Amino acid sequence: MRIPGLERDGSRHKTFNRRLALLGGGKLTLAAVLMGRMYYLQVLESDQYHMLAEENRISMRLLAPPRGLIMDRFGRELASNRQNYRVVLIAEQTKGVADTLDRLAHIVPINSHQRRRVLREVKRKRPFVPIKVAENLTWEQFARINVLLPDLPGVQPDVGEGRYYPVGVETAHIVGYVSSVSEADLTGDPLLELPGFRIGKNGIEKVYDESLRGKAGNSRVEVNAYGREIRELARQDGQPGHDVVLTIDADLQEKISRRLRDESAAAVVMDIHQGDILAMVSAPSYDPNAFNLGMSTKAWRTLIQHPRKPLINKAIAGQYPPGSTFKMLVALAAMEAGIAGPGHEVFCNGVIRLGKSKFHCWRHRYGGHGMMDMKQAIAQSCDIYFYDLARRIGVDRIGAMARRFGLGEALDIELVGEREGLVPSKDWKLAVTGVPWQLGETLITGIGQAYLLATPLQLAVMTARLANGGIAVRPKLSRHLKPQDDAEGAGEDADDDRTSQNDGNNIRTTDEGAPPIGVSAANLQIITDAMSEVVNGRRGTARKYKLDKELGMKMAGKTGTAQVRRITKAERKAGGKLGKGTPWKERDHALFTAFAPVGAPRYATAVVVEHGGSGTYAAKLTKDIMAEVLRADPLARSAMGRTSHAPNNATDRPNNADNADNTGNKERKT
């Protein structure tokens, strides 16, 4: 017998049980999925999530490495690192940033620009992040801050490392300077984004910047959820940068700089055999430390507006007509071409005609030089003689000889801003101006004017190649670039005949001998004998500037006076000289090239004095410079091994001279 109520209750019970089973199964399934996920995250992926947690807890920070040193050939530091005393501010520890800055300003100078910068950074950065207020403090300022620290809440004294140039002004154009990283300097290297990091901006500092920079270190710091530093867990210091050892003799560089201090001039001294640049001076100069410390707008404007252009390295970027210092190459070209020998004679009466034009000798007022052979034409700098030679051999032969002696090309010295100068040719003029070459321009080229331009470095190289027997020596500025961790082979003499070059971090060293120019040794001897006659002869143009007898050595050289504008008829009638009332920029450039000692030459030098008036004035300066070179004799000191203080491992656009229209009838006393 069926009971209707019981049947309904049984049906509901079965339905409930099925639903309960489904619900329980779903829960078990969800629990299984959850447990599986937890197992996956906590067991299988535990290493990854542990690493992510550590990355949130641990902050990796770059540490700037010590910058490599720059030293002269005897180990004297030209660019070094020294402690940088500075003061930083932590905003959250102050009662008021403005009030703290007011208190601090009574101890160290804080100008309005620094104050605005600090207040701007306080708003931009987290309150616990240190903000630099001032750096490069004196020890007295740093000590006062430490003493008064209880009255300066939020202020923290700090000691870092900064670049310092012990020689400073005297080597500024060679060593260069470092300065803050600009947006244009960013290359993706994280070092460049470090606050306060500095890179080379000029000179050797820029050319070898990557090698001097070194490799960054790192510090593992524990931080909280807000990024606040709790403690340092580990530290790995960076690898110091490489040292750069230059060919420069810093003592000699200083002496020459002092001699040229009142001039707008350049001087280069080099080893005629190896090409070592022993001194390279450009005057006036500037203080490279000012760029590192931070230069004011007023100071920067003063430098760039200075009429004598102290920021330009005139030794490599100043381009000047070589004047009569070029005459040796004209004579050599004539002898090599077989057109004229040392016995070739020309009568100088002070003037020659070419068509309707007159070309004068500097001695035209006195009736000229009379009969001249090649030796006396160089010694007395007779213009008429070289007009004749230039007309006979032509401008292209003259230019070819000039290029063999290093003119008209960049010499790849290890500095930025080197200019090529200019050696003209017929094809060059036609391509540039569209006007054919004129014979009168050939005559003017014969006395080193017209379109000719050369740098003081090129003139020094030309003189070195004349004196060394016609070997195509090239100038070099670095003796070797020495890794910090390489103590072997650190002796300097091992690298005397090698040229080091830097391409990023790759250092290439070559010790190949320079090739011969291919000029007759007999013809070179004629030229060098004539250069000796310039200084030591009875009628040489530089006879007043022989070396002092106590040195026991002789100097050979050649005067040069390069015009920067044409001489008017009135000036020529007055003797062809520009008077003292002539504006400075219109006066002639003074040049002198020299080598010494005569008989066993070792040193070559070139001196250019902008608007110095006469080549004899440059000869006077050169006498003093060469005397210092011979007394110091840096090459002999290297050969004797007097370099014991050189450390093995340390932890440590161009000047366009005012050459207004250098074409036309231009000849001056040289």
> What is the tens place of the pLDDT at every residue in 523-557?
999 999 999 999 999 999 999 999 988 889 999 99
Does the structure show a pLDDT above 60 at 505? Answer: no
Q: Tell me what pLDDT residue 486 has.
A: 40
| Mean pLDDT, rounded, of the chain | 82
Q: Does residue 493 have a pLDDT over 70?
A: no
pLDDT the model gives residue 512: 52
* 214 domain residue, yes or no: no
Q: In the listed set 139, 159, 179, which residue is the last one of a domain according to the structure?
A: 159
Domains of the chain: total? 2
Position with higher pLDDT, 84 vs 668: 84
Residue 356 belongs to some domain of the structure? yes
* Domain-terminating residue out of 118, 140, 159: 159
Task: Name the region of 94 (left: φ>0; alpha: ψ -120 to 50; beta: rest).
Answer: beta
pLDDT at 516: 94
What size, in residues, is the chain?
Answer: 670
Q: Which two tokens stand for residue 480?
A: 């070797």
Q: Which of 264, 282, 285, 324 is catalytic?
A: 324
Which residue has better confidence, 222 or 357? 357
Residue 484 has pLDDT above 60, yes or no: no
Range of the domain at 132: 85-159
pLDDT for res 481 = 60
Window from 248-262, 283-297, 326-340, 393-407 with minimum mean pLDDT: 283-297
**515/227: higher pLDDT:** 515
Helix, strand, coil in percent for the chain, rounding step 5 = 40, 20, 40
Place of tokens 């001897």: 525
Whether the pTM exceeds 0.85: the reply is no
CB 348 within 8 A of CB 382: yes
Same domain, 155 and 257: no
Under the banding of pLDDT at 50, 70 and 90, the label for residue 44 is low
Instruction: With respect to residue 538, please indicate whether it lies within any of the assigned structural domains.
Output: yes
pLDDT range class, residue 394, cuts 50, 70, 90: very high
70-71 and 58-63 as β-strands: parallel, antiparallel, unpaired? unpaired
The backbone torsions φ and ψ at residue 77, rounded to the nearest 5 degrees and listed phi first, read -75, 125
Longest dimension (CA), the chain: 162
- Please determine, for residue 662, whether its predicted confidence score (pLDDT) is greater than 70: no
- Domain for residue 35, yes or no? no
- The answer, yes or no, to whether residue 510 has pLDDT greater than 70, is no
Task: Please state the rounded mean pLDDT for residues 234-250.
Answer: 87
The answer on 262 and 151 residing in a single domain is no
Where do runs of H (alpha helix) occur along 96-249? 97-104, 112-124, 139-147, 172-175, 203-207, 209-213
**pLDDT in the model for residue 87:** 83
d(CA 85, CA 209): 24
Clarify whether residues 389 and 528 are in a common domain: yes
Which bin fits 503, alpha (ψ -120 to 50), beta or left (φ > 0)? beta
pLDDT-derived band at 642 (thresholds 50, 70, 90) equals very low
pLDDT of residue 2: 56
**What whole-number distance in Å separates Cα of residue 167 and Cα of residue 178?**
15
CA–CA separation, 342 vs 94, rounded Å? Answer: 86
Within-domain flag for 320: yes
Phi, psi of 55 (to 5 degrees): -65, -30
Count of Cβ atoms closer than 10 Å to residue 13 Cβ: 10
Closest CA to 264 of 668, 670, 655: 655
Q: Kindly provide the b/e burial profile for residues 215-252, where b requires at least 16 CB atoms within 10 angstroms of the residue's own CB.
A: ebeebebeeeeeeeeeeeeeeeebebbbbbbbbbbbbb
pLDDT at 500 over 70: no
Distance CA 668, CA 588 (A): 9
Among 279-283, 306-310, 382-386, 582-586, whose mean pLDDT is lowest?
582-586
Structure tokens at 34: 């959850």
* ∠ CA 589-578-625, rounded to 5°: 35
In a domain, 391, yes or no: yes
Which of 128, 159, 190 represents a domain boundary (last residue)?
A: 159
Task: Assign 53 a pLDDT band (cuts: 50, 70, 90).
Answer: low
Exposure of 288 by Cβ count < 10 A (0-12 exposed, 13-18 middle, 19+ buried)?
buried
**Cis status of the peptide bond prior to 597, with omega within 30 of 0:** yes
| 356: Cα separation from own chain's centroid | 48
pLDDT of residue 233: 62
pLDDT tens-digit readout, 470-482: 999 999 999 866 4
Q: Look at residue 641 and tell me whether its pLDDT is greater than 50.
A: no
Q: Taking the alpha carbons of 40, 46, 48, 53 in that order, is the dihedral positive or negative?
A: positive
pLDDT band at 661 (very low <50, low <70, confident <90, very high): very low
Between 410 and 50, residue with greater pLDDT: 410
CATH number for the domain that contains residue 617: 3.40.710.10
Q: Is 500 a catalytic residue?
A: no
359, 502: one domain: yes
Q: What is the pLDDT of residue 1?
A: 53
Please give the average per-residue pLDDT across 311-328, as a whole number: 96
The torsion region of residue 370 among left (phi > 0), alpha (psi -120 to 50) and beta comes to left
The pLDDT of residue 310 is 94
Percentage of the chain beyond pLDDT 70 is 78
Most confident region among 232-236, 578-582, 623-627 by mean pLDDT: 623-627
- Same domain (yes/no): 384, 257: yes
CB atoms within 10 A of CB 48: 10
| Residue 1 included in any domain | no
Nearest to 608 by CA among 467, 455, 408: 455
| Burial degree of 287 (CB within 10 A; 0-12, 13-18, 19+) | middle
The top-scoring range by mean pLDDT among 67-71, 188-192, 499-503, 560-564 is 67-71
Q: Are residues 509 and 393 in the same domain?
A: yes
Higher pLDDT, 501 or 436: 436
Query: Between these two residues, 317 and 48, which has the higher pLDDT value?
Result: 317
| C-alpha to C-alpha distance for 425 and 431, rounded to whole angstroms | 10
Query: How confident is residue 51, by pLDDT bands cut at 50, 70 and 90?
Result: low
pLDDT at 502 over 80: no
- Categorize the per-residue pLDDT at 248 as very low, low, confident or very high, splitting at 50, 70 and 90: very high
Q: Give the pLDDT score at 192.
A: 78
Residue 2 lies in a domain: no
Partnered with residue 232 across adjacent β-strands are 221
Mean pLDDT of 244-248: 96
For residue 555, the model assigns a pLDDT of 97
pLDDT mean over 439-458: 96
